[in-house]
Structure formats: C-alpha cells, structure tokens
C-alpha cells in the first residue's frame, strides 16, 4: 500500500529542509508509487495523497514536535508564515509530486509505422 511509514527506521536526524524531506519520501517509494504520484493531477493531491501521508510526515519528520528548521524551510517555499500544521505537509507533498513528475511521468509513445516512416 502506498505511503506507509518509511521502510527505514525513523531517521536519526529529522530532515531540516523540504528538499531533505522530499528525498527521504521519494527514496522510500516503489517504482509503481512514483509512477502513480507522477501521473496525478495537482487537484488529486489533496484526496489521493494528503490523507494517506500527512500523518506519517507529521510524526516522522517532527512537524508537531519542534522541527523548527523544517517548518522554516516550508515557510521559505511559500514565501510567508504558515497558518496551520497542514500547510507544511502539503508543501512537502507538492514538492514530492513535482520531483516524481520530472522522472516518472508516463508518456504515450506512438509506435505506428507512420510515426517511424519520416
């Protein structure tokens, strides 16, 4: 099932930046999950991803437990102070989605003879 707690034990040191958090999550995803995430629309993130992964991110990355560096990094991404603990989680999810889109987005490949005859 997608977005279970990280396969590795809680990091010895929690991520201090959005990029570090995204890397931990991305590295933990299976190939299938990377493709699924990459092919979601931005509007699907709330329904498909947020509910499944928000609790894990909050707990394992210390969103509620004083990981001030990560919270500050999230604020820098949005250019303002966040209004609730959900904002930092969504920032991390959107950056994970962007990373997956760069490397695992499915593309239609036309293998018909017309496409190759030029």
Question: What is the pTM for the complete model shown?
Answer: 0.77
DSSP per position, the chain = --SPSPSS-S-SS---SHHHHHHHHHHHS-HHHHHHHHTS-TTHIIIIIIHHHHHHHHHHTTTTTT-HHHHHHHHHHHTS--SSTHHHHHHHHHHHHHHHHHHH-------SHHHH--
Q: Is residue 72 part of a domain?
A: yes
What domain range includes position 73?
18-103
Q: Is residue 111 part of a domain?
A: no
Q: Is residue 5 part of a domain?
A: no
What pLDDT shows up at residue 100? 94
Q: Is residue 110 part of a domain?
A: no
pLDDT tens for the chain, residues 1 to 118: 355 545 555 545 789 999 999 999 999 999 999 999 999 998 888 877 888 888 888 888 998 888 999 999 998 888 887 766 668 899 999 999 999 999 887 655 577 766 555 5
Q: Is residue 60 part of a domain?
A: yes
Counting the structural domains of the chain, the total is 1
Q: Is residue 48 part of a domain?
A: yes
Q: Is residue 84 part of a domain?
A: yes
């Amino acid at each position: 099932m997608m977005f279970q707690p990280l396969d590795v034990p809680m990091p010895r040191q929690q991520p201090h930046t959005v990029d570090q958090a995204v890397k931990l999550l991305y590295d933990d995803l299976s190939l299938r999950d990377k493709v699924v995430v990459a092919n979601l629309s931005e509007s699907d993130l709330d329904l498909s991803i947020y509910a499944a992964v928000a609790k894990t991110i909050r707990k394992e990355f210390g969103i509620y437990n004083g990981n001030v560096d990560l919270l500050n990094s999230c604020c820098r991404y949005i250019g303002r102070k966040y209004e609730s603990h959900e904002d930092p989680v969504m920032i991390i999810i959107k950056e994970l989605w962007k990373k997956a889109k760069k490397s695992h987005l499915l593309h239609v490949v036309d293998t018909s003879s017309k496409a190759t005859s030029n």
